[in-house]
A and B are shown apart, each in its own frame.
Chain A
Amino acid sequence: MWGSASPALAWLMALVAAGMLEITAGSDERSPWTTAGVILTEALLVIGLHWGFRSTGWSTRTARARLTWVLALALIPWGVELGVRMGLNAMWPLELILLAAFRNAVLALAVFAHEPASQRLGCVLSTFLVIFASALAADFWLQGLVMLFAILGVWWLMGSYWETLRGRLAASSEQGLPRKWAVLLPFVVLLCLLTLPAAGTQVRALRGFMPSSGGTEQFSEAARSGVGDGDALVAGTDNIRSFAPIEDAPFLSSHEPSLYDLFDDSYNEPVKVDQQERAIAIDKEFAHQQKEHHLAQSQIAGKQFSTIRQQGETSTAKIGNRKSDAVLYVSGRVPLHLKLQVFNLYDGIEWYPQPLANREMSLKMEMLHNRPWLRLPIAAGPDIYAAAETHALKIVRLNSNHIPAPTQLLGIHLDKVNQADMFEWAQPGVVRMDREKLPSQTVIHVQSRVVDPRRCDAGILNFDGRSVIYQQFGADPDSLKVRELAQEWTRGIHGDWPQVQAIVERLRRDYVLDGDARPPKDCRNTVADFLFRSRRGPDYQFASAAVYLVRSLGHSARLVSGFYADDRNFDIRSRHTPVFAVNVHFWAEVNTGSEHWIPIEPTPGYELLPPPPTLWRRLTDSAAAALAFVVRHPVACAALVLLVAVMGVLRRRLIDAVATLRWRWTGAADPRRYALQTAALLDRRFQRAGLARPVGHTHKRWLRALAQSAAGNDDALLEELTALFDWAGFAPAAVACPADDPISVCRNAERTWNWQRLTRIAELKRQSQRPRPKDRNRRSISLPILQPAQRTG
């Protein structure tokens, strides 16, 4: 059976692969009907050519020249593309040309699938074609075709192996492929499904690997979609996948909230405390600096942040419901903390933004791959960073000139902005553009690096004496209580960095994130109130507490506000993460000296961006995610496995039930045709039950043999039925039907030779062939019948 089934499977594999490519290639350009027509044409071509070549003997005569034909067909797309380019002044994407060459080779080999060498090569090329087509596919449902192809491929491989045994199989062995192994197929599908979580969360693109898929250096007018930061990414006019919902842009541009609107929307308006004594005194020098700073920077950043906010429902819920109101989009690894403002002074209620020092180093512009990059100066510091990586930010509706950027910012790139004086320092570590606000629909590329925790040793917080402003700490009783608490949390922990980690861990573990919690209006130290009384609060309370606790131990720390690009918002399809107004966030940074800051995240539910994972880490993460998926949905997974297993076990019965229903519904009115359909139905049923009618046996003979096995009393029906079958099969049209009511005879026969009865007969047959056991205690014996059976025991 497999000798003839393998070419059919090879055809199916080739057609599925070619179909995937046609659907992928035509997703944006052809109607579904046109695509279906193309696939049908290809199928008919393969079948027609196969039949024609075999019947004419051409396939055997030209065995040596076959490779030439396959190669010629594979080269056709290049010629056609050249013609299209010259004649119509249009281009085809390079990847589609390559895949079309693959498709032609696969279809050409499918024509000769009856020959083992062509069949094997065709199946291998089909596999590659499916992989590449699935990688380009925009429609998720196409992955179902991948699974179908996997099932066909598994079956083909098993059949191919079985072919090597055929002819040598012992007569007592089953000659067909072991059907029980068909239960393997659902597991292949299940394992594929388990990769879905990983397939949906991984974000990485190889930029510039192919001109027509976008890229950093080369680009093509024929690009189908953007990978990386090529022209397609910036333009994004034709394809929504290029970067952001451009179609929404005109509507969004009408409402561009300022940074402070966002904070107020998220945390409510600050409470106006006119005459209240601050718990923590700010040194005069700092206060003076602050005042000057306010005057100088009033237009841009110098606005303090009060930790006492009004009670009541925030605007978060209202904003959160408008998921398309993204402030910006992030392309790259997430979660990502995007810094907009830093605060260094704290008076118990308010955080004051850090003024710009006069000694900030100048910004320089340099060309990298013909693109202007603003290079930020890097002071010498500890080797605690992972490799640099780039994120692309598309600003949609942010009314600020601060450039959101990760902590350790290395460079900024805006297309065609090649003058360094377009940028300036806003605050230490924060860059802004020299204009009122960031241009809308602008893509900003930021290069940064994250801290690798594995490289951070215990003494990494090596204060160099310059950052005393980050150690500002009060001497009031509340502050002393905070210090005692910090000392208690870090008792027995040696080293600066482990102490900071211990504080962060305690905050994340023992305190509750509550966006509605507010300190009382008469509170004089919101950090102490958060730590000792309420033990719950919004993220800025966590960040403030973290900064204050760290400072109490003598380390340098500061408060940072900005956006949190939440990985839960990652859009698989567009591979971008929208950042909404609700994603404003506070966190903290600790200083290692020389303007090197390590972000810490004390708020539970928020995570820092880990270093780029290694391949092994990716695999283990994927495995863990798959396992977690199973653990999260144990009932569904178990039910699915159970369902598939039950369907696998009962497959023949189910198929028979479907075939019977079809026979009942579509039975012909003509008695002769109806009898033939019944004969075919019974034949297939016998085959499924393991009682296939041997070649050369008539229905009459076989039905009699089965009737004898079943010891049933249906001789009359048997006579009538076999006469009817003989008449339907062989009698000329002039001969009348031997049965009075052929329809009822057929239906009676279908009921008589039902599935239960046939399985009983098959079981009896198996029992009669079962060998005698040799060792009753441990083993059963199966004996061959090739020679006169040699029974042992």
Chain B
Amino acid sequence: MATLGERVSRLLNYDFCPSANRWVYWVKTPIASLSLAALSALACALFVKPIALIAFAAVLVVVVLGYVWPAIAIRGMSASLKFRQRRVDEGDVAIAVLQVVNRWPWPVWGLSLEEGFGQSPTLALAKVGGLSSAEFSWEFVPDCRGEYPQATPRLMTGFPFGLRHASRPVAVEQTILVWPEIVELDTLLDAAETRPSDDVFSEQRVGESGDMTGTRPFRQGDSLRRVHWAQTARTGRMIVCERQAPAQAAVRVVFDSDPRVHAGQGRNSSLEWSIRLAASVCAAYHREHSRVECCFGHETLPIEPGAAGWQRFLDRLARFQPCVERHHPGCDHEHTAADCRKIHHHNCGTFQVTITTDVGLAHRTEHRHVHGDQRLVVLETSGFDGDCRLCHHTHPAPSRRAIVINDAQHVAADFQRKWRQACHVG
């Protein structure tokens, strides 16, 4: 049973009117507190004792200076931003270079670069001298894929008191693409669908066509056209020719991009991990010269062979932004709402690796149709601190063949282990 103190604490910390917070939370800002203090001092001066004008003047000076000076200071500033690298992986170090110009004859203190860098710490500048240009570089470690800066960064200052923050946009001379992290996979699942290929092949497929590689005893079902008659005559038993042809495996990697079926926020959300796992599977197959296409949302991206194709694919993944409720401003997709989530397969019957969540599996908001063999990779949303946003029910565990990721803290290791197990065991 809670003690009296705990009850009072709970009562005092309880938000009785959450809807009213937006009307009263401004009181928590320093400028509001000081403005109220100034008004109180003025009221005391007018109605109680004029000597309170001294306190009023002191508070007023602070409020006016704190409100006006940042706006004045920032008006003389301009800045541009560029990155030394064009592309990096998540967690890699990128060198960002900020060039700041101060047109005021006096120094400007307490500047910071804000917005557009996610959760990563950005740069703060103690001082930029008057009538000077300065260049600052810092190590930017992006924690999540994307094109950085994600929004127009702003050069901001609240100096001297932080009562008001004035800002100016920073010109971005060059952005940086952050590719999703790749989980190394040393084995591959068999892809049922193969295509003959003379130029690029991922494996040799024994079959009815191709070059003759040897002979073997006749087995029931072999075509008589493949009987090696000379060997048959020599050995006295039926010998057939063994043929094989170079072939290219084809695989489709699909991941659920509907944010409603995912859980978690930012880098450790199930959506971001879905993208990373999809990229990892694609990388593994692409490395083995398979024909890989990746499908997400309303897009189907065939990955072209070679490094250039792989780079274009990762660039696209880096820039991908899921359509939350309506199309993203950068989305040029013209589908109607009903068709928005439909996938457009170029080839039916291709072996498909589907990466989704238990919620996505239950509601199937995307990728409803599967034509061919499929292997599921399921991230359990409960591990990502989320429940079903669509029905708020618990969904049953997926089938035994699915690769289920339930350790949200160690997704990469869990996936590596279970993928290897699936490859070996089936």
Query: B-contacting residues of A (Cβ < 8 Å)?
Result: 64-65, 67-68, 71, 120, 124, 127-128, 130-132, 134-137, 140, 143, 146-147, 149-150, 153-154, 157-158, 160-162, 164-170, 172-175, 178, 181, 184, 187-188, 191-192, 194-196, 198-206, 209, 213, 227, 572, 618, 622, 771, 774-775, 778-784, 786-787, 790-792
Chain B residues within an 8 Å CB radius of A175: 126
Chain B residues within an 8 Å CB radius of A71: 12
Chain A residues within an 8 Å CB radius of B107: 178
Chain A residues within an 8 Å CB radius of B65: 184
**B118-131 interface bits toward A, Cβ cutoff 8 Å, 1 = contact, 0 = none:** 00011111111101
Which of B30, B135, B139: most chain A CB closer than 10 A?
A: B135
Pairwise interchain contact B131-A778, C-beta atoms closer than 8 A: yes
Query: A-contacting residues of B (Cβ < 8 Å)?
Result: 5-6, 8-9, 12-13, 30, 33-34, 37, 40-41, 44-59, 61-62, 65-66, 95, 97, 99, 101, 107, 109-110, 112, 121-129, 131-139, 158-163
B238 to chain A, nearest CB (A): 75
Which of B47, B51, B133 interacts with A775 by CB under 8 Å? B133
Pairwise interchain contact B54-A787, C-beta atoms closer than 8 A: no
When A131-B44, A206-B46 are in contact, do A199 and B12 touch as well, CB less than 8 Å? no
Q: Within the assembled complex, what's the spacing in Å between the Cα atoms of A779 and B131?
A: 5
Q: Within the assembled complex, what's the spacing in Å between the Cα atoms of A173 and B100?
A: 13
A528 to chain B, nearest CB (A): 47
Pairwise interchain contact A135-B51, C-beta atoms closer than 8 A: yes
Pairwise interchain contact B40-A205, C-beta atoms closer than 8 A: no
Q: Within the assembled complex, what's the spacing in Å between the Cα atoms of A280 and B366?
A: 112
**Which residue from chain A places its CB closest to the CB of B40 in the assembled complex?**
A131
14 contacts between A and B (CB under 8 A): A127-B37, A130-B55, A136-B48, A154-B161, A160-B162, A162-B110, A165-B112, A165-B126, A166-B124, A188-B62, A202-B46, A204-B50, A209-B47, A780-B129
Q: Within the assembled complex, what's the spacing in Å between the Cα atoms of A762 and B40?
A: 47
* Given A127-B33, A128-B37, A202-B45: 18 more A-B contacts, CB < 8 Å: A64-B13, A67-B9, A68-B9, A127-B37, A134-B51, A135-B48, A135-B55, A146-B55, A150-B58, A170-B136, A175-B126, A191-B58, A192-B54, A199-B50, A203-B50, A209-B48, A771-B134, A790-B97
Interface SS, B side: mixed
Pairwise interchain contact B44-A195, C-beta atoms closer than 8 A: no
Chain A residues within an 8 Å CB radius of B124: 165-166, 168-170, 173
Q: Within the assembled complex, what's the spacing in Å between the Cα atoms of A252 and B300?
A: 105
Pairwise interchain contact A168-B123, C-beta atoms closer than 8 A: yes
Pairwise interchain contact A147-B58, C-beta atoms closer than 8 A: yes
Pairwise interchain contact B12-A161, C-beta atoms closer than 8 A: no
Which of B47, B48, B95: most chain A CB closer than 10 A?
A: B48
Pairwise interchain contact B158-A786, C-beta atoms closer than 8 A: no
Pairwise interchain contact B12-A201, C-beta atoms closer than 8 A: no
Q: Within the assembled complex, what's the spacing in Å between the Cα atoms of A790 and B138?
A: 11
Chain A residues within an 8 Å CB radius of B46: 202, 204, 206, 618
Chain B residues within an 8 Å CB radius of A162: 110
Chain A residues within an 8 Å CB radius of B122: 168
Q: Within the assembled complex, what's the spacing in Å between the Cα atoms of A135 and B58?
A: 14
Which of B12, B110, B122, B131: most chain A CB closer than 10 A?
A: B110
Q: Count A/B pairs, Cβ under 8 Å.
A: 214
Pairwise interchain contact A140-B51, C-beta atoms closer than 8 A: yes
Chain B residues within an 8 Å CB radius of A165: 110, 112, 124, 126
Q: Within the assembled complex, what's the spacing in Å between the Cα atoms of A358 and B160?
A: 73
Chain B residues within an 8 Å CB radius of A203: 50
Chain A residues within an 8 Å CB radius of B129: 780, 782
Chain A residues within an 8 Å CB radius of B54: 134, 143, 146-147, 192, 195-196, 199
**Which residue from chain A places its CB closest to the CB of B58 in the assembled complex?**
A150
Which of A143, A205, A780 interacts with B131 by CB under 8 Å? A780
Pairwise interchain contact B139-A787, C-beta atoms closer than 8 A: yes
Pairwise interchain contact B49-A170, C-beta atoms closer than 8 A: no
Pairwise interchain contact B62-A65, C-beta atoms closer than 8 A: no
**Which residue from chain A places its CB closest to the CB of B159 in the assembled complex?**
A161
Chain A residues within an 8 Å CB radius of B66: 157
Pairwise interchain contact B9-A64, C-beta atoms closer than 8 A: yes
Pairwise interchain contact A787-B126, C-beta atoms closer than 8 A: no
Pairwise interchain contact A161-B160, C-beta atoms closer than 8 A: yes
**Which residue from chain B places its CB closest to the CB of A773 in the assembled complex?**
B132
Pairwise interchain contact A68-B12, C-beta atoms closer than 8 A: yes
Pairwise interchain contact B53-A67, C-beta atoms closer than 8 A: no
Chain A residues within an 8 Å CB radius of B53: 195, 198-199, 202, 622
Pairwise interchain contact B134-A783, C-beta atoms closer than 8 A: yes
Pairwise interchain contact A784-B135, C-beta atoms closer than 8 A: yes
**Which residue from chain B places its CB closest to the CB of A130 in the assembled complex?**
B55
Which of B46, B57, B101, B107: most chain A CB closer than 10 A?
A: B57
Pairwise interchain contact A134-B55, C-beta atoms closer than 8 A: yes
Pairwise interchain contact A779-B132, C-beta atoms closer than 8 A: yes
Pairwise interchain contact A781-B138, C-beta atoms closer than 8 A: no
When A169-B124, A213-B48 are in contact, do A786 and B160 touch as well, CB less than 8 Å? no
Q: Within the assembled complex, what's the spacing in Å between the Cα atoms of A771 and B128?
A: 13
**Which residue from chain A places its CB closest to the CB of B48 in the assembled complex?**
A135
Chain A residues within an 8 Å CB radius of B33: 124, 127
Which of A131, A153, A572, A622 interacts with B41 by CB under 8 Å? A131
Chain A residues within an 8 Å CB radius of B159: 158, 161
Pairwise interchain contact A131-B55, C-beta atoms closer than 8 A: yes
Which of A68, A188, A775 interacts with B58 by CB under 8 Å? A188
Chain A residues within an 8 Å CB radius of B110: 161-162, 165, 178
10 closest Cβ pairs, A-B complex: A206-B47, A173-B126, A161-B162, A135-B44, A168-B124, A150-B58, A202-B50, A165-B124, A157-B161, A199-B53
Q: Within the assembled complex, what's the spacing in Å between the Cα atoms of A167 and B65?
A: 26
**Which residue from chain A places its CB closest to the CB of B11 in the assembled complex?**
A68
Q: Within the assembled complex, what's the spacing in Å between the Cα atoms of A783 and B13?
A: 48
Q: Within the assembled complex, what's the spacing in Å between the Cα atoms of A71 and B109?
A: 39
**Which residue from chain B places its CB closest to the CB of A227 in the assembled complex?**
B48
Which of B5, B50, B52, B121 interacts with A65 by CB under 8 Å? B5
Which of B121, B132, B158: most chain A CB closer than 10 A?
A: B132
B11 to chain A, nearest CB (A): 9
**Which residue from chain A places its CB closest to the CB of B103 in the assembled complex?**
A779
B74 to chain A, nearest CB (A): 14
B84 to chain A, nearest CB (A): 9
B383 to chain A, nearest CB (A): 29
**Which residue from chain B places its CB closest to the CB of A151 in the assembled complex?**
B58
Chain B residues within an 8 Å CB radius of A161: 110, 158-162
Pairwise interchain contact A786-B40, C-beta atoms closer than 8 A: no
Pairwise interchain contact A787-B95, C-beta atoms closer than 8 A: yes
Chain A residues within an 8 Å CB radius of B55: 130-131, 134-135, 146, 150
A220 to chain B, nearest CB (A): 16
Q: Within the assembled complex, what's the spacing in Å between the Cα atoms of A402 and B109?
A: 68
Pairwise interchain contact B109-A178, C-beta atoms closer than 8 A: yes
Pairwise interchain contact A206-B48, C-beta atoms closer than 8 A: yes
Which of B47, B52, B61, B162 interacts with A131 by CB under 8 Å? B52
Chain A residues within an 8 Å CB radius of B162: 157, 160-161, 164
Pairwise interchain contact A784-B12, C-beta atoms closer than 8 A: no
When A157-B160, A157-B162 are in contact, do A174 and B52 touch as well, CB less than 8 Å? no
Q: Within the assembled complex, what's the spacing in Å between the Cα atoms of A82 and B107?
A: 58
Q: Within the assembled complex, what's the spacing in Å between the Cα atoms of A140 and B51?
A: 8
Pairwise interchain contact A132-B40, C-beta atoms closer than 8 A: yes
**Which residue from chain B places its CB closest to the CB of A142 in the assembled complex?**
B51
Chain B residues within an 8 Å CB radius of A120: 30
Pairwise interchain contact B126-A790, C-beta atoms closer than 8 A: no
Pairwise interchain contact A131-B37, C-beta atoms closer than 8 A: yes
Q: Within the assembled complex, what's the spacing in Å between the Cα atoms of A147 and B61?
A: 12
**Which residue from chain A places its CB closest to the CB of B43 in the assembled complex?**
A206
Chain B residues within an 8 Å CB radius of A143: 51, 54
Which of B121, B137, B163 interacts with A786 by CB under 8 Å? B137
Chain B residues within an 8 Å CB radius of A779: 101, 131-133
Chain A residues within an 8 Å CB radius of B158: 161, 164
Q: Within the assembled complex, what's the spacing in Å between the Cα atoms of A124 and B31?
A: 11
Chain A residues within an 8 Å CB radius of B57: 191-192, 194-195
Q: Within the assembled complex, what's the spacing in Å between the Cα atoms of A622 and B6?
A: 52
Which of A149, A167, A200 interacts with B50 by CB under 8 Å? A200
